[in-house]
Structure 1
């Protein structure tokens, strides 16, 4: 039976009129008994002091006598603490052990597990999916590398995957029940407060925003599925992991193989249909956020659903030949432009697009190369001008402007910049030291390319 390990009166303390005080005390006592670095058996005085500290934090104290007890009505905090302490002992939450004159208090394992479950339910908060998925992937990689020594880790990984799947179901059902509760409410303040207190603080995933990014927690899903499927497809690995199961859990090899296959299939099932479940969660989340946004938008102007009511009023007025005069509306202005505002529609994600490499035609490549070579030819560099002058002068000591040849774009650019060697900066100092440009006042047309002042390039002597 489910309750055969629990005292029969254990739920009486939480079902009476004093359950608020009992609940607050049990919540604080849980941290005292769950202290991993301390002795689980406590002195009676320590428990009573803890109860007194809890009562000091409460705003009001009110004890209702539910049955005849051999105690007077509590007057002080200490009296309240004693009354609650004896109430917990009588209902089986606490167990007293006496050694001579020393009274110790403890919790049985079954009661401790029950209280821990209650605390987990009351503190059901956000969960980080990224850490869960990474831990599952890390354990699977460890099993793949060392199946004989660490194969039993697969059992813990499957349990984490099942817990992860159950948490998704809890989120889905929690949002659905919260949505039904808020939709039935007609109090705007309660709707907005419930949305932030129950949904944002209690149900929403801690790293929910990352689910829509490239750095989402499920980017390792393919690796998890491949590793898990490899355990089932590779008979050697399956035998090694099953042998580790059998050695650690002291079971037969046949039963160990069945457990390994079950754990692997649970992991595969959890991560195979994760997208569909997240889409349903996102759909319910959108409806809930839309209702809260509509309520917050209309709280100052009117109330939710006013746009439909205005549409109904207009439809009714259209039935008359002359619009009726509504004297009650004059000066009230409870129907206005802000009342008919509609929230923005949900933005659907764009459909997936198959990325295909674009083929560049040969003509485009040829044209791009020609453009690159043209831009390179137009660049003026010192080696280009040095080579052009050496080619033109050869062994001559001087050369006239009309004797220069222009056979390419590079030659034209170098010839055009010979007149500005003195203004080319520090990089052209070598050219100025090797050649001298002597100008005249005459203007000449050089090979029908350019008209410029007449000049002669003279090679400077090394002396």
Structure 2
């Protein structure tokens, strides 16, 4: 049964008149016992000091005796701490162990799990699912690359998907119940306060604003679905993952195959229906925001929804030939310009369109390639100069400027830069070790194309 492993009196501490004090103490004791860096068995004095620290943070202290006790009510913080400590020990939240004169305090595993669950329920609120979706994708990619060694991580991805799906359901149900409560409320201040406290701070996903952007946490949904469907469509991969399940969980291969199939289908079910569920959540969110906006807008002028009533009055007045005079409301400002104002209408998302890849014409590709080759030909490098000189001189010891040939853009660029080898930097030093350019004072015209000083290129010995 559900409560078989828990003490019978465990919930008495949370049901009495002092439940507020006990709840605050248990909330802080959860952090004390969950400290992963310390021993889970604590000293009694440390627990009492922790209870005193919690009571110091409370605004007021008041102890109500549910049962007539022989001793007086506590007066000091230390007496309050002792009373709460004994209450927790008597109801089974804490267990004392005594060794000689040393008293230690611990929590049983069942009570610790119960307290952890209660704390998670109390802290239930905003969640950030960007990291969750990324972790699911990372685990599935790891399974795809190493199914035999890391196949068991598929179960972790499936569990995270189930938790995410359950949280979406909780958001949807929470918004519905909040909408019902706010619509039934007639106090404008409570409507606005409830919207921000219960919905914005408590129900909404932390990264909800990013859902409609390009950097939304569900942009990897397609990869996740492809990986999960790939595991089901490839029997060899599913068999390797099932073997890893069987080795890690100590179950038969048939049971492991069934577990693998169930985990994959849970992941596919979660991420294939996420758009429809988010649209329903967005619809309820819009209704809540509109009600809160109407209330905030008309809080100081009139009542929300009065625009529809004004439209009805105008329709009724239009039935008369002459406008009737309402004597009983003369002088009462119940209808004004602000009353007929309507909040901005909900923006409908644009219709989906098919994105087609633009095709580049073959002429544009050819022109781009010619331009790229031309720019590459104009670039000067030590390797090009070295190759040009080796090809021109071949086995000759020297060569005159008029004996060089220019057959391409590369040859012209190399020929033009022969005069500047000494200023081309460190990369051209090895060319200077092989060839020497000897200039004269005479200027000549080379093939009626370049006019420069005459020079000879001499191969160094």
TM normalised by structure 1 equals 0.75
**CA distance 1:358–1:89, change in 2 (3 Å):** closer
Distance, in Å, in 2 between the alignment partners of 1:38 and 1:70 is 38
Residues 1:46 and 2:46 aligned together: yes
Distance, in Å, in 2 between the alignment partners of 1:42 and 1:71 is 28
Residues 1:156 and 2:156 aligned together: yes
Contact 1:317–1:324 (Cα < 8 Å) also in 2: no
Structure 1 counterpart of 2:210: 210
Secondary structure, in 3 states, of the residue corresponding to 1:132?
helix
Task: Report the Cα offset of residue 318 of structure 1.
Answer: 5.6
Distance, in Å, in 2 between the alignment partners of 1:318 and 1:62 is 65
**CA distance 1:358–1:38, change in 2 (3 Å):** closer
Residues 1:273 and 2:269 aligned together: no
Task: Report the Cα offset of residue 69 of structure 1.
Answer: 2.8
**CA distance 1:324–1:43, change in 2 (3 Å):** same
**CA distance 1:333–1:252, change in 2 (3 Å):** same
Distance, in Å, in 1 between the alignment partners of 2:180 and 2:49 is 43
Contact 1:43–1:105 (Cα < 8 Å) also in 2: yes
Task: Report the Cα offset of residue 326 of structure 1.
Answer: 3.3
Secondary structure, in 3 states, of the residue corresponding to 2:80?
helix
Secondary structure, in 3 states, of the residue corresponding to 1:96?
strand
Distance, in Å, in 2 between the alignment partners of 1:355 and 1:58 is 60
Distance, in Å, in 2 between the alignment partners of 1:301 and 1:92 is 56
Structure 2 counterpart of 1:225: 225
Superposed counterparts of 1:65-144, under 5 Å: 65-144=65-144
Distance, in Å, in 2 between the alignment partners of 1:358 and 1:263 is 40
Structure 2 counterpart of 1:323: 324
Contact 1:232–1:238 (Cα < 8 Å) also in 2: yes
**CA distance 1:153–1:86, change in 2 (3 Å):** same
Contact 1:128–1:205 (Cα < 8 Å) also in 2: yes
Structure 2 counterpart of 1:340: 340
Instruction: Please list the CA deviations of residues 403-454 of structure 1 after superposition, one character each: whole Å capped at 9, or x if unmatched.
Output: xxxxxxxxxxxxxxxxxxxxxxxxxxxxxxxxxxxxxxxxxxxxxxxxxxxx
Instruction: Please list the CA deviations of residues 304-341 of structure 1 after superposition, one character each: whole Å capped at 9, or x if unmatched.
Output: 122233334445556665523435441x4232010111
Distance, in Å, in 2 between the alignment partners of 1:312 and 1:18 is 54
Superposed counterparts of 1:216-365, under 5 Å: 216-315=216-315, 323-330=324-331, 332-356=332-356
**CA distance 1:322–1:216, change in 2 (3 Å):** closer
Distance, in Å, in 2 between the alignment partners of 1:165 and 1:247 is 29
Superposed counterparts of 1:13-32, under 5 Å: 13-32=13-32
Contact 1:175–1:199 (Cα < 8 Å) also in 2: yes
Unaligned runs of 5+ in 1: 370-463
Secondary structure, in 3 states, of the residue corresponding to 2:300?
coil
Secondary structure, in 3 states, of the residue corresponding to 2:219?
helix
Distance, in Å, in 1 between the alignment partners of 2:127 and 2:258 is 31
How many residues matched?
A: 364
Distance, in Å, in 2 between the alignment partners of 1:262 and 1:344 is 46
Distance, in Å, in 2 between the alignment partners of 1:164 and 1:356 is 33
Report which of the two structures shows the higher radius of gyration computed on alpha carbons. 1
